[in-house]
Chain A
Amino acid sequence: MKVIYILWLRQIKRYFRARSRVVSAIGQPLLLLIALGYGLGSVFKQAGHGNYIFFLVPGIMVQTILFSAVFFGINIIFDKQFGFLKETLVSPVSRVKILLGGAFGGATTSIFQGFFLLIMALVIGFRPYNWWMTLVSLSVLILLSVSLASFSSGIGAIVNDFQGFQAINQFIIFPLFFLSGALYPLTSAPAALRVIAAFNPISYAVDALRESLINQTHYGFTKDFIALGITTVILVAFGVYEFNKIESD
């Protein structure tokens, strides 16, 4: 436990010491929320879907977590290339603990970012329909961020350079985000898009968050949490498996 804790603490310290990173990590989603929220708000309202900012907040929270997971993966590659990972790999500690300590740290910082965005949203007028339900949204964020941090650790274990990681970013993270219903309601989306979204775990995270924050849902909590649970198990297993395989090259 101490080992997981100290590796978790390391991520937290690193995160808050890199202030410029904190600012940009928080600024970008906020920009998206404001630009899209106000820009498309009137169109959305005319189409009879209600307040777009309210609709968008859960989607952008998920986006924050997705993108910070990418950043976390880049950190793993940095650790790998510039040595710190070696220090942990030659220590008498199991790989699982190394992975989990880092992933929990990465997850904590992304949850922090998600909630920071929520606070910013409150400032521009967003209100959850029931404050108690924000606790449910916290559990969604925990599942999502732990599974994504494990996933990107696994990718970081496989990939050795930043170009490779960028390709993954382009081909996995962007489609996951844009095809998830984070930006538009799936209910009125074309059938093809709905089918794709149904296979995208991010859709369920967005949906569960939306239900817990603004009481709107496409799949319902049960389906959302089953999908999220399965995703978490698979992605943590993937991270552990790939991390166990790392050999220094």
Chain B
Amino acid sequence: MAENIIVARNLTKKYKDTTAVDNISFAVEAGSLFAFLGPNGAGKSTTIKMLTTLITPTSGELTLNNFDVVKDQIQVRRSFGIVFQDPSLDDQLSAYENMQLHAVLYGIPKREYKPRIEELLTLVELWERKDHMIKTYSGGMKRRLEIARGLLHHPKILFLDEPTLGLDTQTRNLLWDYVKKLNKNENMTIFFSTHYLEEAEDVAEQIAIIDHGKIVARGTSKELEKLTKTKSLEEAYLSLTGKELRDESNSGKDAIKLRMRARGGQ
């Protein structure tokens, strides 16, 4: 058995009047492919934000790569790479400049990052377009670049927060093939969330389902099907989380995002 690279114990995040994540515990084995599923507003994003030091837990313990996410923030940040749900590239910089900025932020010296950037951009097939501005990139290209960027500092864990959202089937397939290869060849732990359950079924070795701030089930896809006496992960998921629709609160942020998307922005 490999050791656990992510350990959460009684993890809780409360906002003024709501409990977004309610006393959850789970562990992720080093080198595994872990899917974190749940309806909108179930506490998925909040958990990922706690894992990636973007917000601090209200209570409970959370360690990544044996570092505490609150006390050893800097070491935790060096341990993971992340592809956010929304693009987080500077679209007025070129792909190379985005990579270079990341390298400097992570304290990688130039003699190391130059060959590494070339290697990674070649891998995601963007080396030829390294000097093009990001605003000329398609959604799929941006995603590939973000994965390359997330890998630049040799992280132990790669977080992928709905990485295939809005991508076509070809790009999605390519992306998962690539992620699986990374996991196998570099023994990198992959922690991802997705709304496409067939992706989780196909890729994940372990699955956790969160709903109303609690983890309602975990196991392999087969185990979840057995548990719920269903024939696919999708059916298992629906039987665990119910069929009613969830509405996320429409914050100012979402409103702006919608407007930007309507205008054909990011």
Mark A residues whose CB is within 8 Å of B. Answer: 2-3, 6-7, 10, 13-14, 17-18, 81-84, 86-93, 160-164, 247-249
A247: chain B residues at CB < 8 Å are 54-56
B32 at the interface (CB under 8 A from A): no
Q: Are A86 and B84 in contact (CB under 8 A)?
A: yes
User: By the criterion CB–CB under 8 Å, are B251 and A10 in contact?
Assistant: no
A168 to chain B, nearest CB (A): 14
Contact of B266 among A82, A86, A248 (CB under 8 A): A82
Asked, given contacts A91-B102, A92-B105, whether A13 binds B55 with beta carbons under 8 Å apart, the answer is no
Main secondary structure of the interface of A (DSSP, over half): helix
In the bound complex, residues from chain B placing their C-beta under 8 Å from that of A92 are 74-75, 77-78, 105-107
Shortest distance from the beta carbon of B264 to any chain A beta carbon, whole Å: 14
Query: CB < 8 Å: which of A3, A82, A160 contacts B252?
Result: A160
Chain B: CB-nearest residue to A13: B93
Query: Are A83 and B87 touching (Cβ within 8 A)?
Result: yes
Task: Assess whether A81 is in contact with B256, with CB atoms less than 8 Å apart.
Answer: yes
CB pairs A–B below 8 angstroms (14 shown): A3-B105, A6-B100, A81-B257, A82-B266, A83-B87, A83-B88, A84-B88, A87-B89, A87-B149, A91-B102, A92-B105, A161-B252, A248-B54, A249-B253
Contact string against A for B residues 224-247, beta-carbon threshold 8 Å, 1 for contact and 0 otherwise: 000000000000000000000000
**Which residues from chain B sit less than 8 Å from chain A, CB to CB?**
49, 52-56, 74-75, 77-78, 80, 82, 84, 86-90, 92-93, 97, 100-102, 104-107, 133, 149, 251-253, 255-257, 260, 265-266
Q: Are A160 and B101 in contact (CB under 8 A)?
A: no
* Among candidates A81, A84, A89, A163, residue contacting B54 with C-beta atoms closer than 8 Å: A89
Are the C-beta atoms of A18 and B92 separated by less than 8 Å?
A: yes
Residue in A13, A161, A248 with the greatest tally of chain B CB atoms within 10 Å: A248
- For the complex of A and B, 4 pairs with smallest distance between CB atoms: A83-B88, A161-B252, A91-B105, A248-B54
Which A residues touch B56, using CB under 8 A? 247
State the CA gap A91–B108 with chains docked (Å).
Answer: 12
Q: Of all chain A residues, which has the CB nearest B259?
A: A162
Nearest-neighbor residue (CB-CB) of B77 within chain A: A92
Asked whether B105 lies within 8 Å of A93 as measured between CB atoms, the reply is yes
Cα distance A248–B15 when bound, in Å? 13
> With A83-B89, A90-B54, A92-B77 as given contacts, are A161 and B256 in contact (CB-CB < 8 Å)?
yes
Query: Apart from A83-B84, A162-B256, A249-B251, what are 9 other A-B pairs with CB-CB below 8 Å?
Result: A3-B104, A6-B105, A14-B90, A14-B92, A82-B260, A83-B266, A90-B77, A160-B253, A249-B253
Closest to A93 in B: B105
A164 to B255, CA, bound (A): 13
Are B104 and A6 in touch, CB under 8 angstroms? yes
- Please determine whether B87 and A82 come into contact, CB atoms closer than 8 angstroms: yes
Name the residue of chain B whose CB is nearest to the CB of A77.
Answer: B256
Partner of B255, one of A84, A89, A93, A161: A161
Given contacts A90-B52, A248-B49, whether A83 and B86 have CB atoms under 8 Å apart is yes
> Which A residues are CB-close (under 8 A) to B252?
160-161, 163-164
B105 and A10 form a contact (CB under 8 A): no
Q: Which residues of chain A have C-beta atoms less than 8 A from B55's C-beta?
A: 247-248
Q: In the complex, A3 Cα to B87 Cα: how many Å?
A: 22
